[in-house]
Chain A
Amino acid sequence: ETWDMPLAYAASNFHSENAAEFATCVKDKTGGAMEIVTHPSGSLFAGNDIKRAIQTGQAPIGERLISAHQNENPIFGIDSIPFLATSFGAHEQLWEVAGPKVAEILAQQNLVYLYSVPWPPQGLYFKKPVESVADMKGIKFRSYSTATARMAELTGMLPVQVEAAELSQALATGVAESFISSGATGYDRKVWEHLTHFYEVDAWLPRNIVFANKDAWDGLSVETQSAMRDCAATAKANGLQRSKDYTQFTLDGLKAGGMTVGPAGANLVAELKAIGETMTAEWLESAGDEGRAVVDAYKAKN
């Protein structure tokens, strides 16, 4: 059997490379009985469409940035609550609690959760040194979601709405002077052409999830299913390591490009944590009891 696997990101992206490795693993473990063909760069379905396409069987398996679907269910956005879990380690702990809950909701949507890999942590890009929230006042901050717009509001920055495709142009022309993303984004887009400082505030670590269509999954033999589960476990671990390695690689890249890269000062961290508390509380209001249970369980572990 051959399964087409739509991926949203370029073939050279570590998530795509990890998925390709997962596909090879499945092929080897099943002795060629199951072949997964990856389609990177949104060449089959665009990122926005992948989840729905898998749900309805238009493709049997695929990968999606899960927080993109938080309008559908706030739980899908649990990985992107600002300053809730601010390191790879903390984030894995959060996911230990949240993962099963997300898998449960996905199961109700005809999806079988296979594995999940975090993106590098989100940091703040600026055009000048920033030591406190007060220094951010009035800076034009690129927002692309309700949460990022709210963050601008809470820090006194001016939110400017800029779509991903236009980020580089917005930075080049000064439409935006600051944004929040991983070191990878800045490295890929060579933002040192326009900005000077990157603060590793590790605001959140968005996750990609690989899931399969439930009907297609149920049609597989038990052996194939268990081979795929094994490969998924490997892919989860390898993906996490790739993400960590890539984080270091891109931070070094930003430095080589001439940017000042480093953790935020203690003062700034404390102020941002406070903002994080506010935003977590706001998220909990929308997420209801289910969300509260997950966040409480996570906090209890720490």
Chain B
Amino acid sequence: MGSLRRGLDALYTAGGVVAAFFTITILAIIVLQMLARWTGSTFPGAADYAGYCMAGASFFAFAYALNHGAHIRVSLLLSKMGRWRYWGELWCFAVGTAASTFLARYAIKVTVESHRFKDVSQGQDATPLWIPQSIMAIGAVLLAICFWDHLIRLIFTGNHGIREDLVDQSHAE
């Protein structure tokens, strides 16, 4: 069990690291685009590539942010529930698991359909859309795994294992 736990946590962190690479890539694309403009050349599709990286930077980090307690929620009622808090948390994780699974299901579906329709980007990049969309799909699946993980943990151990890291949040690290 310990190794599964460590493996899953490492998986979410790996998602965060990939998201970080996407963020750096956004920076790189924008700098290259500027350089291209100043030197009288062009970087066709730069805006589109930056957009895909934006999706990657967000989706790959969703699970990582959840695991670190960085996602925001209105916990006023929860914190006042006392011994009923377990049921409150169970409700939240059940809704979260359902929503993220729904999101993942359709993120996969849209990617598969884009592949089948041979849908291509309308920008100068003319990228087959399933490629960037699979970034979204993988990220959404990661988030769903993370929610299932914590829901199951909550059911069997009574604790979902996410510490709302307030210092972390206040530093928004």
The A interface is mostly helix, strand or loop, or mixed, namely: mixed
* B7 interface contact, C-beta 8 A: no
* B46 interface contact, C-beta 8 A: yes
* A227 interface contact, C-beta 8 A: no
* A159 interface contact, C-beta 8 A: yes
Which residue of B is nearest A48, CB measured? B122
Known: A160-B42, A163-B47. A145 touches B113 (CB 8 A): no
| Shortest Cβ distance from residue A137 to the other chain B in the assembled complex, whole angstroms | 12
* A248 interface contact, C-beta 8 A: no
* A52 interface contact, C-beta 8 A: yes
Which residue of B is nearest A64, CB measured? B122
Known: A56-B113, A161-B33, A163-B47. A71 touches B121 (CB 8 A): yes
Size of the B side of the interface (Cβ < 8 Å), in residues, is 18
Give a binary string over B73-102; 1 marks a CB under 8 Å from any A CB, 0 the rest.
000000000000000000000000000000
Are B44 and A161 neighbours in the complex by a CB distance under 8 Å?
A: yes
Are B119 and A72 neighbours in the complex by a CB distance under 8 Å?
A: yes
Q: What total of A-B pairs shows CB separation below 8 Å?
A: 38
| Interface-centre pick from B119, B122, B126 (highest chain A CB count, 10 A) | B122
Are B44 and A160 neighbours in the complex by a CB distance under 8 Å?
A: no
Are A149 and B124 neighbours in the complex by a CB distance under 8 Å?
A: yes
Q: Which of B47, B117, B126 contacts A55 (CB 8 A)?
A: B117
Complex interface: chain B residues within 8 A of A144 (CB): 124
Give a binary string over A153-179; 1 marks a CB under 8 Å from any B CB, 0 the rest.
000001111010000000000010000
Are A161 and B42 neighbours in the complex by a CB distance under 8 Å?
A: yes
Are B42 and A146 neighbours in the complex by a CB distance under 8 Å?
A: no
Are A72 and B44 neighbours in the complex by a CB distance under 8 Å?
A: no
Are B37 and A175 neighbours in the complex by a CB distance under 8 Å?
A: yes
Are A149 and B44 neighbours in the complex by a CB distance under 8 Å?
A: yes
Which residue of B is nearest A72, CB measured? B120
* A128 interface contact, C-beta 8 A: no
| Shortest Cβ distance from residue B29 to the other chain A in the assembled complex, whole angstroms | 12
Complex interface: chain A residues within 8 A of B120 (CB): 71-72
Which residue of B is nearest A165, CB measured? B47
Q: Which of A57-89 contact B (CB under 8 A)?
A: 68-69, 71-72
Which residue of B is nearest A147, CB measured? B124
Complex CA–CA separation, A72 to B43 (angstroms): 21
Complex CA–CA separation, A55 to B33 (angstroms): 34
Which residue of B is nearest A110, CB measured? B117
* A143 interface contact, C-beta 8 A: yes
Are B44 and A71 neighbours in the complex by a CB distance under 8 Å?
A: no
Are B46 and A161 neighbours in the complex by a CB distance under 8 Å?
A: yes
Are A161 and B119 neighbours in the complex by a CB distance under 8 Å?
A: no
Known: A159-B42, A161-B46. A71 touches B122 (CB 8 A): yes
**23 A-B residue pairs with CB within 8 Å:** A48-B122, A52-B119, A55-B117, A56-B113, A68-B122, A69-B122, A71-B120, A71-B121, A71-B126, A72-B119, A72-B120, A143-B42, A145-B124, A146-B44, A146-B124, A149-B124, A158-B40, A161-B36, A161-B43, A161-B44, A161-B47, A161-B124, A163-B47
**Known pairs A161-B124, A163-B47. 9 more at Cβ < 8 A?**
A48-B122, A56-B113, A71-B120, A71-B122, A72-B118, A72-B119, A145-B124, A149-B42, A161-B42
